[in-house]
Structure 1
Amino acid sequence: MPPEITRVWCRLMSTLAAPDSSRLSLQAFSTRALPARERHEAWLQRDWPSLAPAYRCKPLEAFDVASERLQLDGITIQFAEVTGQSWVRDASLIKSWTPDALVIALTVQGEARGEWGGVSARTGTGSIQFADFSKTSSHVSSASKTIAIAVPRAIAASRGLAVEALHGVATRSAAGSLLAAHLLALREAAPGIPKSSEQILARGVLDLIVLAAQSAGQASEAAAGARGLSLMARAAIERSLGSPTLGPARLCRSLAISRSTLHRLFEREGGVQAYIRRRRLEAARVALEETGSDEPIHMIAERLGFSDAAHLSRLFRSRFGSSPSDCRAEARRARTGATSAAGMEL
């Protein structure tokens, strides 16, 4: 297959699915439909944030790859299943092309060994490794399933992560396992999550990265402690989102913290009550837009901790500019229009 056709095929594979623009979407890529001799070149033709152009790679067996990519407020998360190969990132490649990012690699299955800036490391199932893309590396990997997170340097630095010091650090920890489990769950849930939740989800991922770096001795305990506590508070809220007793007093008791500490954790969100209200409203919108759902609005209100349907409607209109019934009707019209358009194309 000529290179020009290969590039067109790569773009087509990335755009075949037409996701709902109001929801998070996963961009899928696979070489499995291609002839074996053309697969590696097709993968190499992909642009950043694919990892392909960041390395000089040589397959160690018949090449094949399947991946899904999720963008969250500047952070790129890539889930990949790839055959064994060697990966080299040398000075000349860094000079000619350098995404300014910290890359965190989680190994779901497989192993790798090599050197990162002179630091020898070996990774395996359950490990987490950090790489500064402004530095050299060389490693060999077996057939593997991985999750790679690319965090722009400025964002990583703003969270207290020492990007240069992290280069080559590899470890296994409860925090790393929690991060992997969180990302795999996010992968499954993403198509049903509104794009308006991107910032919240990105903050949660960053909180877990900081915890993982702290467990490897590469982030301040104060920074990791505060972010870990914030993550636990948010998890407690999600578990009890529909409870009418959910509020500052209950959270302070369950987390054994003071009201002033709780306020600091949610200061950027306008306070814990504002955060709870926003999460309830976002959950209500997801329920209203869900395909095939006819759950009565008053039951959604009761399930999510609103006093009644009128209470939900008033807050919903203030937040989103439309009533719950209008939101549901608009979602149905959008689905009907998309189905009609697909039928015309066929």
Structure 2
Amino acid sequence: MHNRVPRPDRPPRVSWAISSDTNADAFDTYRGSFVDLYEVGDVAHAGKADFSSRTTVHLFGSAVIGRGRSVAQTLSRDAAMVRRSGLDHVSLIINLAETVGDIDGKSVRAEAGSVQFRDLSRPSTSHTNKIDTLNIMIPRTSVPSWLLSKGLHGLVLPASSPGGRLVASHLMTVAEVADGLSEAEGVAAIEAAFVIAERFMGHERSIAPAHTDAIHRSIRERAMALMDAEPVNGRWTSDTLARAMGVSRTSLYRAFERTGGVKAYVLSRRLSRAYAELRARKGNQPSVEQIGQMHGFSDRRTFVAAFRQRFGMGPDEVPPSNPQASRLAQDGSELPMDRAMHDVVMDWLRTSEAA
């Protein structure tokens, strides 16, 4: 038996256990909390009977790892939901029941225990006769470059393959001992899963790709720190930014290449931060104008237009977060909540992406 003694300094954790046996609205709250992640369908009795969900989710750095169990259901992300959620994350899924689905028009079937990869910025639909799953979600900018180059959406490492068994076994163990891990240990354990997967997915290692990825992440972080210090300063161009950081323009471009370029990355991250700020505000304070200005937008009109372009809705339409649930998640309550908390997990994802 693995040691599961919680650490006093552990990262945020949230857990829930709900059932239609004890709460007639259990499925409705479950589906409602899922609203920006998946549309839930094909649940027996419309969730009014024989429905249950039991899940624990941990936040390690910018990644979340969740272990959940529930009834048969279909989970879908259409183009409208992809846009509204604003997530630019990759999901790695292990379900201990067979899964069938449609990934961008391509039929996918994964045997029980397979490792599945999903790009959350693209549509997908999957159905399983039982949710008994482990799910990791991490920002695209933290995904190894070799995996992104493979067109990962819909990729499957079969459970019958050595690589599939090894990755699944490793991550199931991580989920089992997660209560006893520090943030650094959890991050390292998740990164190790990608190292294992790399060995079995036909990738021929080039010169120190992990080091290259780390260097590019460092350049992106330094660039954001400079621009955050003066968010509305118009002097930042590729040339002035490269000089201020002491790197070449070529190095700067390469660091931002897989994020769509410097300008696109900065805009995306500032909008993600603004979204998180809008979720966290009390009433109408700070105002939309103030939040826009804090994140580098010179006026309301510019901010609203950019926000609507990214999320398909205006800043005033962002629903508020549940402060009590978020506080309990940060406090690491041992007791499962009596409502599903996918909305809190979504806030984690948006905040960590914007960090």
Q: Return the TM-score normalized by structure 2.
A: 0.50
Whichever residue aligns with residue 206 of structure 1, its letter is E
Is 1:145 the counterpart of 2:128? The answer is no
Q: Output aligned runs, 1:34-183, within 5 Å.
A: 35=22, 37-46=24-33, 53-61=36-44, 62-107=50-95, 109-157=96-144, 159-162=145-148, 165-172=151-158, 173-183=161-171
- In structure 1, the residue corresponding to 2:151 is in which secondary structure? helix
C-alpha distance in structure 2 between counterparts of 1:163 and 1:132, whole Å: 12
C-alpha distance in structure 2 between counterparts of 1:101 and 1:31, whole Å: 27
**Residue 91 of structure 1, CA deviation:** 1.0
Deviations along 1:286-309, one digit per CA (max 9) or x if unpaired, are: xxxxxxxxxxxxxxxxxxxxxxxx
Q: Output aligned runs, 1:166-205, within 5 Å.
A: 166-172=152-158, 173-193=161-181, 195=182, 198-205=183-190
C-alpha distance in structure 1 between counterparts of 2:177 and 2:58, whole Å: 12
Deviations along 1:64-88, one digit per CA (max 9) or x if unpaired, are: 2111101111110010111111122
**Residue 226 of structure 1, CA deviation:** 7.6
**Residue 33 of structure 1, CA deviation:** 7.0
- Name the residue aligned to 2:333: none
Change (3 A) 1:177 1:222: farther
Q: Is the 8 A contact 1:70 1:76 kept in 2?
A: yes
Q: Is the 8 A contact 2:69 2:131 kept in 1?
A: yes
Q: Is the 8 A contact 2:20 2:27 kept in 1?
A: no
96-105 or 57-66, larger mean C-alpha shift: 57-66
C-alpha distance in structure 1 between counterparts of 2:101 and 2:87, whole Å: 21
Whichever residue aligns with residue 92 of structure 1, its letter is A
**Residue 186 of structure 1, CA deviation:** 2.5
**Residue 190 of structure 1, CA deviation:** 2.9
Change (3 A) 1:213 1:223: farther
Whichever residue aligns with residue 56 of structure 1, its letter is E
C-alpha distance in structure 2 between counterparts of 1:77 and 1:176, whole Å: 18
Deviations along 1:109-158, one digit per CA (max 9) or x if unpaired, are: 2111111112211112120110101111122211131100001111015x
Whichever residue aligns with residue 40 of structure 1, its letter is F
C-alpha distance in structure 1 between counterparts of 2:149 and 2:59, whole Å: 21
Q: Is the 8 A contact 1:31 1:42 kept in 2?
A: no
- Name the residue aligned to 2:192: 207
- In structure 2, the residue corresponding to 1:150 is in which secondary structure? strand
- Name the residue aligned to 1:23: 10
Change (3 A) 1:124 1:167: same
Structure 2, unmatched stretches of 5+, are 1-5, 45-49, 212-355
Change (3 A) 1:42 1:201: same
Q: Output aligned runs, 1:7-22, within 5 Å.
A: 21-22=8-9
Q: Higher helix fraction: Structure 1 or Structure 2?
A: 1
C-alpha distance in structure 2 between counterparts of 1:25 and 1:53, whole Å: 21
Q: Is the 8 A contact 1:179 1:205 kept in 2?
A: no
Identity percentage of aligned residues = 23
Change (3 A) 1:188 1:139: closer
C-alpha distance in structure 1 between counterparts of 2:152 and 2:124, whole Å: 13
CA RMSD of aligned residues (A): 2.8
C-alpha distance in structure 1 between counterparts of 2:152 and 2:209, whole Å: 19
Q: Give the number of aligned pairs.
A: 199
Change (3 A) 1:192 1:39: same
